[in-house]
Structures are given as C-alpha cells and as structure tokens.
Structure 1
C-alpha cells in the first residue's frame, strides 16, 4: 500500500517535463515552459510544438489553451492559463501478493501573469484520495528576467538537481528527496546561454506529510550542450538539518542521437553524516532510459534503475528494469505505461512484477 501511494504522489507535477525534446534541438526548457527548469505551464510556442512535433494527430488551434477558447490578443499578452488532470492504474504481483487499483493523482489550474520582465506563476489545487480537489497553492514563484540569458526567481518549488523528469518515483528523484510534495521555499538564479547553462539555488524545506524534517540547502548545476543534440552536466547539493548533513554529487546526460533515438542517464553519489551516531553513510543512485519514437507521438522505452543507499549494508540495494511506452495521441492527452521487474533487497531476494498506466489530460 505504501508503494502504491508513493507512485501516486510522485508522478504528478512537473507536468510535461520532457528533456527528450533535445533530439529536436530544444536545449533550454524556456523554449516551451514558463519555468526555467522545465515542467508546468506551457508557453504559447510550447503548445504549438505539442501539435507539430509531439502528438500523433492534431492541429495548432486544437493545441491552444482550452482549445482556443481563451484566444484574445490583448489578454494573452500578459495572461496564460492551463492545468492538469491525472490518474494512475497500478498493479503489483509476486508469489504472495497480487494487488491493483486506480489512483487519483493530480487536478489543478496553473496561471502565469507576465508584465514586462516580471512573471508570476501559481499552481492551485491538490487532488486527494477521495477525488476531491483541495484549494491549496502547491507551487508558486515570482521571476525577473535581468537579461535574455539571466533570470532570478523566488517562491516555492523544487530546486534544480539532476534530470528534471516527471517520473519522480525513480531513485534519483524520490530516494534523494526530490519527489512530489517536497517543494521548498527557494531563491534561484539561472544563466542559459547557447552552450553553457548554470543554475544555483538556496532553499529551505517545508514540513509536510512528505517532509519529516526541515533541511536548509544550497545546490548548483552546470550543463554543456554539444551540437544542439547532446547535453551533459553535473549537480552538487549541500544540505543541513537537525539530524544530518549530506552532500550529493551527480552526473547526468540527455543524448539525442537522432530525431528518433534518445538516452537519458543520471548517477548520484551521496554521503550522509548522522548527527546522533556520528556515522557517515555513502550511497549511489542511478537511472537510465533508452527511447525510440517509432511513429510520431509513439515511443518505446526501456527503463533501468539501481541504488544502494549504504555501501556497508547489502540490504539497502534496489534494482529495477523493464520496458514501457509513451503515447501522445492528440494535443492535451498523454499516456505512459511501464512494466518492471524490481528487487528490493530488504524485502527479499526475488524480483517482483510491477506495472502502471498513467493517464494525463492537460489544458
């Protein structure tokens, strides 16, 4: 049950974060998103791309916000509106367990108001387990564009670290504390050039159902783009709380070999020093995805994960691998499926079957 709930809350926001678009030479997230780190509300250009490049069928007008119902030149100069509705069908099977259920994941509206060089972004709404939307602002920020390449923003969001993938159950996200529900009070500066990209953030976590203790952190990330199709980078995290100090050093890559074939990869090394025991744990978290678009909007994928949170404890190992797919039939619709074999050493020595189908409607 706990794993089901983890998947439910972890595949939600960062809606439409799709770093694989580098295969079409989109190296910076701001080409399609208001957020400089990607995900969330699409820009008007990003909506156009969703029909021209991403979806199997559809028209430019169909891809617009609310199917063009809000098209107004004066209004759209300063206001953009969107939102998401998501649900998940989950299945887990082993020699002793067979379970499955449909899970509500996300429902909310996102607004972006731009006046001159200032942008205010707000995501409002939290879908609970009873399929009811709670009136809560889960993510928000105010951003100022100092130069074409330089932006600063302050608010509540997840700091940039590693690959900004929407599947926050992956070990490089959830196991390091970057999953859904861990938005922080943060101040961020980002430089986005043609080749180099640098972002640095200072943040403080907010105690919630997903966060048991408050951590103050500094993070930095450096990326380099090669031939507009390959992006490699490194990330560093330094965090302090009442019970521990931790450092994370990560390497990542997004590789668009052709307009069809792509690879995402990330490996993060973490050391955690416990204040109470004065002991330090060293661990590794690794993720890779191999994808191929057979037909416009239809992707086959293979996903692999490995982690060991404590090198001195063999029971802290986790392994997962399996095939999946992505399908973007028309603008506003997304389907993702994944079947994996997972071995959680602390539970047992056998690989067990896991599968999910995620259904996403964005407007």
Structure 2
C-alpha cells in the first residue's frame, strides 16, 4: 500500500494538466469570465490580463504582497516574446488515478490533455484554435480515427467583437454554453448534460453578451463534425443567462435541446435530448464561495416516450490563504430511465504554488443504486495543472 501511495504522488507531481475556468473567482468581484479568457463564457486560453491576475490573485504569495506582475507570467515564462496580435498558450493536464469498486482496484497514470492554444486578433476579428494529443478518451474531439493516442482539437472558431467588447459573435467548434463552467468535467452536471470542456464541444454559431451585471450566450448547434456518420450528430440550441445583482452573487438559468437521428450513446432513433436548469455562485465571505447547479433531464425517441431525470451539484471552495483551496462537494443523479438516485461526495485540496501551476488532490465517493442494493465506488486523483 505504501508503494502504491508513493506511485500515486509521484505521478501526480510529474504529469501535466490543462487550464480551466474558475467559477469561484467571484470572490474577487469577477462575475464575468470574458476579461480573463478568450472564450466569453470562460475556460481555455487566458488573455494577457488573465495571466496577470493568475499571479496577483491566484498564486501563493508566501507572506509577500504582490503589486506588480512579473514578466514570467507571459508565454513560456516570458522566454518567447509575442507580437501584440498573437496570443499563445501551452496547457497540460495529467496525473494519476486510483479507482476502487467492490470487485477490483485500478491504478493508472493519466495524461488527460496536452494542448497548444492560439489566438490571432486583427482589429475586431479573432481566430482561435487548439491542437493537442490525448492518450485516451476525448474521442469526440479527435482529428484522427484511432481508439487511443489521438490528435485532438477541442476548439477552433472565428469571432467578431463589437467596439465596446460587450458582444461577441462566433462560428466554429466551441464549448457548449450551459451552467457552471467548472473544471471538474466528470461531475454529473457536466457529464449527463454533455457540456464538459474535455470533448463535448459542438460546431455552430453563437452570440455572447457581457454587460454590467448580466451575461449570457446562445448557441445554434450544427453538430459535431468530428463524429461520423452524420446520423449521430446532434442539432439544436444551448444557452444561458446569468444575472449578478451584486459583485459577490450571480444567479443563472440554462437551457439545451438537441435532436439526433440516432443517439450516439443509446443508439435510439429519432432521439430528443433536453436539459434545463438553474445555477448560482455566492461569495459568502472572502474565504468561502458556494456554487451550485440543478438540471432537469428529458429524453425521448421515436421508440420511447419522454422520460425525466435530474442531476445536481453543490460545491464549496474555501481559500484560507491565497493559493490554497479546500473543495467540498456533493452531487446527485437520477438518470432518465434509471432506478433510484445516485449520490456522490468529494473532498479536494488545490495549491497554486506558482503562477499558473497548481497541484491538486481529490477524493470522490459515489453510490449507485441497483435492483438488489447498490454499488459503491471510490476514486483518488492527483493532478498537476500547468498553463505556460
């Protein structure tokens, strides 16, 4: 057991991770994500301003007060100066995972993402794209047809910003605008709504608005063109609106409806998939932020009447000192057509020990009901999160 723990820690220390959005930035008065991310709804490539804030607000200070941004926050720690029109980022995500179920224990290293992200800006127009490598999973974002070791492009889109930079019109492959843009892409609110940032992007056109106290985005979904044949592609819409009555509180609603000739998971024909819900973020006090999301799931097909389900997540992020985060979460899932309600709980610790470098350890416990009882599972995950 001791050797297993050492392996788990070492793999977490020396493997890579990818930059994500942080909904708990509302503790610093940031209810909007557009200032720090190229994506107007958050996640992915950081803007120069976002890189600066990662040093001033996120990284551990070790007792010192930082008032100026060091050149090391720039691309490749400032070793490769870029022209003003070009923004580059290297992002890595990896670590180690231990999963225990009643019949087995699985231990394996994880190389979750290794991406280069780029954005070229010419006046009010932008071109944004990412290219990376995935050892496993991320098949829905894969440019190559293999079961593993694929070249992936999670995002590639063109955008136009108005002069005030409050409106962004985009077309291409984009993250789905829905709910909390949280980093934990395996939570049920992301997994069951198919709105995670790991592989469930879609092609289409979107309009985003970021104004004083209100933001939102609506996307017309044309389908995932990396999925073949066409009969498995979903088409429809996805969107959200979030209102921030105060700098420490934001409340939102989300809605998503798609139709596919055949569902890519269940293979049911004439498949309609819906998710509608609410979400919110509240900085209760400077160290404590509460985040929650609740969604109703509705599925139907030409062979099956509409069925209802639901999923929810409640998470608390506590930052006792700058750079150190303790995360406590609880989640529930009643799948459409499933038996009973699954529940889960998580405890995590994250430490941003350098600007844009985070070490994180998480433990998750889940119980899934069955006809003759239930199945318990427990997962330990170590990660290194690096964005250059």
Shared fold, TM over 0.5: yes
Instruction: Give, in whole Å, the separation in 2 of the partners of 1:308 and 1:135.
Output: 34
- Give 1:143's aligned residue: 159
Alignment RMSD (CA, Å): 2.3
Select the residue among 162, 183, 187 that pairs with 1:166.
183
Instruction: Give, in whole Å, the separation in 1 of the partners of 2:17 and 2:101.
Output: 30
Select the residue among 251, 260, 263 that pairs with 2:287.
260
Deviations 1:265-323 (A, max 9, x none): 0000011112123x11100010111111011100111011101013x6425x3210031
Select the residue among 171, 174, 178 that pairs with 1:157.
174
* 3-state DSSP of counterpart to 2:195: coil
Select the residue among 221, 232, 242 that pairs with 1:203.
221
- Give 1:285's aligned residue: 311
* 3-state DSSP of counterpart to 1:241: strand
Deviations 1:20-45 (A, max 9, x none): 10110112111111110111111111
- Give 1:66's aligned residue: 76
Instruction: Give, in whole Å, the separation in 2 of the partners of 1:219 and 1:320.
Output: 26
- 1:258 positional shift: 2.4
Q: Which runs of 5+ in 2 are unaligned?
A: 1-15, 137-145, 262-268
Q: Which runs of 5+ in 1 are unaligned?
A: 1-11
| TM-score normalised by L of structure 2 | 0.83
Instruction: Show the 5 A alignment for 1:44-59.
Output: 44-57=48-61
Instruction: Show the 5 A alignment for 1:28-107.
Output: 28-57=32-61, 60-71=70-81, 75=83, 77-107=84-114
* 3-state DSSP of counterpart to 2:353: coil
> Are the counterparts in 2 of residues 14 and 39 from structure 1 also a CA contact under 8 Å?
no
Alignment size in residue pairs:
344
- 1:346 positional shift: 3.9
> Are the counterparts in 2 of residues 182 and 205 from structure 1 also a CA contact under 8 Å?
no
- 1:246 positional shift: 2.6
- Give 1:182's aligned residue: 200
Higher relative contact order (CA 8 A, sep 6+): 2
Deviations 1:30-69 (A, max 9, x none): 1111110111111111111111110014962222211112
Select the residue among 307, 322, 334 that pairs with 2:358.
334
| TM-score normalised by L of structure 1 | 0.89
